Amino acid sequence: MTKPHILLINPNTSAPITETIRQLAMAEIGGQANLTAVTAPFGARYISSRMSVTIAAHAVLDAYAAAVANGGRFDAVIVACFGDPGIDALKEIVDIPVVGFADGGLIAAAALPGKFAIATIGEAWRDMLTELALRRGFGDRLAGVILIEENGRAPEVAGPRITARAKALGVERVVIGGTGLIPVLDSIAGNVGVDVVDPHRVTLHDVIRMIGDAPEPRPAAAAPSLFTGLSSALEGLLNHPYAS
């Protein structure tokens, strides 16, 4: 049986982060799927503001369009950022499962009883992840966002801080997300005194299941629009949604 082909899109421009994501995916689901990992063609090396998220959303669409224009045929797409820039727009124009690390983590945490917290790096993500939880219908389940300081990623520092804040919030479960944290996430989790949801691993395994599920109904493709200044690959995709 042919393995499904999954496209992993890193919405920032850091090639080392793309490789970190690829290696995690290979370790988790490499035996079940063929994997292609691509890096955003433009934007921020580290997504940490609404401006960079907006640019990254465009870059995600462009990266997918380029992958398809270069002959790629995919069974699912993972927006590999804990924040999922561009995910809703991509869902609008493709007919395969599209998942994101933030969505995957929120769904997994909300599937269990009680409230949960999110832990990540970057002050701007506090509001953006809270807003994402609200849009996804999990606002009443999210107790708060715990910030891991840039210089506080060491497991022996981050773990106790997350534990203290989680207990103060009254939660027994924390989603710890951020692709920059992937190399140390297991060690951080080992120093956290509450249950930890790893959104990256959860999402990687979820997408395998989703490929085998019946496809969700899609709205009728929109009439072609006129665009200016886009890459030829993206313009072609937007003018012919679902054609990929």
CATH at residue 130: 3.40.50.1860
Looking at the fold, whether 12 and 55 belong to one and the same domain comes out as yes
pLDDT at residue 221, rounded to an integer: 53
Question: Which residues lie closer than 8 Å to 122 by C-beta, 6 or more apart?
Answer: 48, 147, 178
- Is 244 contained in some domain? no
pLDDT at 124: 92
For the stretch 150-166, pLDDT in tens is: 788 899 999 999 999 99
- Sheet hosting strand 98-100, strand order edge to edge: 34-39, 5-10, 76-79, 98-100
Same domain, 96 and 211: yes
Among residues 34, 37, 29, 36, the alpha carbon closest in space to that of 3 is found at 34
What is the residue-averaged pLDDT of the chain? 92
Pairing of strands 173-176, 142-147: unpaired
SS3 119: strand
SS3 content of the chain, % helix, strand, coil (to 5): 50, 15, 35
Give the domain extent around 13: 5-100+203-239
For 70, residues 6+ apart whose C-beta sits below 8 A from its C-beta are: none
Any domain includes 106: yes
Tokens matching residue 157: 């520092």
CB neighbours (10 Å) of residue 95? 14
Q: Residue 133 falls within a domain, yes or no?
A: yes
Q: pLDDT digit string (tens) for 198-232? A: 999 999 999 999 997 756 656 555 555 678 899 99
Examine the domain organization and report whether 15 and 52 are in the same domain: yes
Structural domains counted in the chain: 2
Classify residue 47 as left (phi > 0), alpha (psi -120 to 50) or beta: beta
pLDDT tens-place string over residues 30-51: 999 999 999 999 999 999 999 9
Distances from the Cα of 78 to the Cαs of 47, 109, 192, in angstroms? 17, 19, 27
pLDDT recorded at residue 239: 80
Provide mean pLDDT across the span 83-100: 95
This prediction's pTM: 0.92
